[in-house]
Structure 1
């Protein structure tokens, strides 16, 4: 995949693994603070904190802007296409497709993140032609390490990605998805 943004569909709905990943809508704004205004999400993700109604409106606007630019897809994670339980992201770049996720605290422990990551990875490869799908996460984030492992990703022996977010330093590991489409699993 080149560094040139690709045209992304205006609407996306992916149904697989007992999930429906769909576009965020105005109807979701009231539910978003309950999902994202949590210390774990504030600590481990770049999602703004505190996360209130204004943050929800800004996130919806940003999701639409990034989609229009052809760089990023943000989808609500649902089981039936209705109430959002979290979010899954696909950021497209020259290195491939980076997947990120955040599941609301009340909905954890159901395998939602693992299934959402697998559905998004399959979409990236099969529908968008992404050649490489990866995760970037902190080794200390045990829940994300478990998601990466259960979703079939492998830790790569590459330098850590170091930086600072929200006033705290981080060091991200890169996890790669061996491609079953290329016989890599």
Structure 2
């Protein structure tokens, strides 16, 4: 996850997860300018062309710093349908969390679960992380179903209190351990 790493491209589960490019900016605005994504994530809302440019610049910097891997979810390496992220608090942190979002027009195709399976495998077997987690808002049944489909389990850790756009959240921790 260093800036000298070549472009990352992961395949599996009928998907190609690839780095975002400048050509994806219009698609990013289309995918992420969605009330459901605005409600559940810290992404800017409205998510317009300017927000897409800022987001891509921040994603590239975070990748260079070893803090994030943000990949477009595609079926063939072409148009993005969503995003999957691996997030670390520090470049050498052995703990990481994953996140995902899928554009409204592409939901219902198991894209998030399949992308989560591929990224989880990368986290364990390439990045060498023994455990990865998801933070899912209590009551978010759709995201909990994605977690279960990808082999995650709800932990007994106390919920994390967070605030997103002025809304208080209780985030439950879901985990996946390397086998």
TM-score by length of 2: 0.94
Aligned with residue 37 of structure 2, among 16, 41, 51: 41
Which shows bigger deviation, 26-35 or 87-96?
87-96
Residue of structure 2 in register with 1:137 after alignment: 136
Query: 1:29-178 counterparts in 2 under 5 A?
Result: 29-93=25-89, 94=93, 96-178=95-177
Q: Which runs of 4+ in 1 moved over 6 A?
A: none
Where structure 2 has 5 or more consecutive residues not aligned to the other structure, the ranges are none
Three-state SS of the structure 1 residue aligned to 2:79 is: coil
1:65-110: CA deviation from partner (whole Å, max 9, x where unpaired): 0000001110000000000000000012436120100000000000
| RMSD between superposed Cα atoms in Å | 1.2
TM-score by length of 1: 0.91
Report the Cα distance in structure 1 between the residues aligned to 2:129 and 2:36, rounded to whole angstroms: 30
Where structure 1 has 5 or more consecutive residues not aligned to the other structure, the ranges are 1-5
**Partners of 2:59 and 2:70 within 8 A in 1:** yes
